[in-house]
Amino acid sequence: MLTWVTFPCYVLLFSGLIYVIGFHLRNGELEWNELNIVDILDTWDGSIFHGQTYISIYSPVNGHYKLASDQAFATMRGEFAGQFGLQESSHATVLEHGGGFVADAFVPVWTSQLFVSDWLQRGPAPVSLSLERANTQWVVRIDNNLDHEVGPLRVAIEGRIYELGNLAGNTSKTNVIDRAQGQTLEAYLAPYGGAFRTAAQQRQSNFGENGDPLPDVAAGATAASFIGAINQTANEYEEFGAPAGLDLTRFARAGYGVLLAWDDSHSLTSHLDQFKATRTHRRSLFRVVTPLPPTI
């Protein structure tokens, strides 16, 4: 007779045990991923940084996370969902005030939500670029004013991209490169159109995917800086929308040189996250545009 009591108890016990084990194996750890795209603009009284900070929060639970910025010119929004859906697919309550903003970001369990912060800041330039013509060569001087190494360094000039390695902190490097070296802009960007579309499609999947279409974040961020060239397809539905100022394609074509310097572990701004994440990644891509010297 006790079977009618013990058997349901065993079912409930083992069901609860399986749920607890599965929850702790599947939930993962709270993770913060941050990518800063920073344009360095020279003015007569110093440098101005225009930054776009892309924030991805992975949550193992249904959670609310506090974000804050103390910059005078800063704001935040959710991820753009496309023209045919809601304007934002991630949700946050943002309160802006005279000295920045505070925000409450909601992230559902086992999902990764993307938020974007736009900001302006003054300060000494972390990196700088100068260019000279020398017959069939370019003389490229890069100054790293930070106290740590940056790299890889890439320079885009007249439709070609040149790889210049890394640069130690508080040092300068002058490279003399043949104009015929490097890759054309089109050849460099060729692998990224499909990779970006795959990444965007995976983000729309309810449970995501295990693939990694962009294993090199630095190279991917560089390619995204020329999204206008990737968008030159015959199908407008495959083209990407981009925030104002993100696309530097026209500067890479003619008349300018573009420096793209990668910093794999730092950001210029104070930390937006007001909580402790188990895993944290902060990366920055510094971008400098300078006019080419006149042809003599």
Q: Look up the pTM and report it.
A: 0.85
Kindly list the averaged pLDDT for each block of 10 residues, start to end, along the chain of length 296.
78 83 68 94 84 91 91 85 63 84 89 89 91 89 94 92 94 91 90 83 62 81 90 69 85 91 90 90 94 78
The pLDDT value recorded for residue 11 is: 85
Torsions phi, psi of 47, nearest 5?
Answer: -115, 145
**Phi, psi (5° rounding) for residue 238?**
-95, 0
pLDDT of residue 23: 62
**pLDDT recorded at residue 100:** 85
Neighbours of 94 (CB within 10 A): 16
Mapping DSSP to helix (H, G, I), strand (E, B) and coil, where does residue 242 land?
coil
For helices 217-224 and 192-203, angle between their N-to-C axes, nearest 10 degrees: 100
Cβ(75)–Cβ(117) under 8 Å?
A: yes
Q: What is the pLDDT of residue 153?
A: 96
What strand order describes the sheet that includes 31-43?
73-78, 111-123, 46-59, 31-43, 279-291, 256-263, 153-157, 160-163, 183-184
pLDDT value, residue 263: 95
Q: What's the Cα-to-Cα distance from 62 to each of 30, 111, 113, 254, rounded to whole Å?
A: 11, 9, 12, 49
- How does strand 127-134 pair with strand 153-157? unpaired
Residue 280, phi then psi, degrees to nearest 5: -135, 135
| Closest to 58 in 3D by CA, of 113, 121, 127 | 113
C-alpha 189: how far from chain center? 17
User: Where does residue 249 fall: left (phi above 0), alpha (psi -120 to 50 degrees), or beta otherwise?
Assistant: alpha
* Domains of the chain and any CATH numbers: 30-124 (2.60.40), 127-267+278-296 (no CATH)
CA angle 24–30–34, rounded 5-degree value: 155
User: What is the C-alpha separation between 238 and 234, in angstroms, rounded?
Assistant: 9
